[in-house]
Amino acid sequence: MLKILLVCTGNTCRSPLAEALLKHELNDKELGYELQVSSAGLAVYAGERISEKVVMLLHEEQIEHDAQRNAIQLDQALIQDADLILTMTADQLQQVMLRFPESSSRVYLLTGYSGLSPADIKDPYGGSPEKYRQTMEEIRLALKNLITKLEEG
Catalytic position from the list 8, 69, 91, 133: 8
Catalytic position from the list 14, 75, 81, 140: 14
8 tagged catalytic: yes
Check: CB of residue 6 under 8 Å from CB of residue 38: yes
69 tagged catalytic: no
What is the helix (H) or strand (E) element at residue 36, kind and residue range?
strand 35-41
The order of strands in the sheet holding 2-8 is 35-41, 2-8, 84-87, 107-109
Check: CB of residue 41 under 8 Å from CB of residue 8: yes
**How far, CA to CA in Å, does 108 sit from each of 75, 85, 126?**
17, 6, 26
How far is 126 from 5, CA to CA, in rounded Å?
Answer: 24
Catalytic position from the list 49, 69, 123, 133: 123
Strand partners of residue 73: 41
Q: Does residue 40 sit in helix, strand or coil?
A: strand
13 tagged catalytic: no
Positions annotated as catalytic residues are: 8, 14, 123
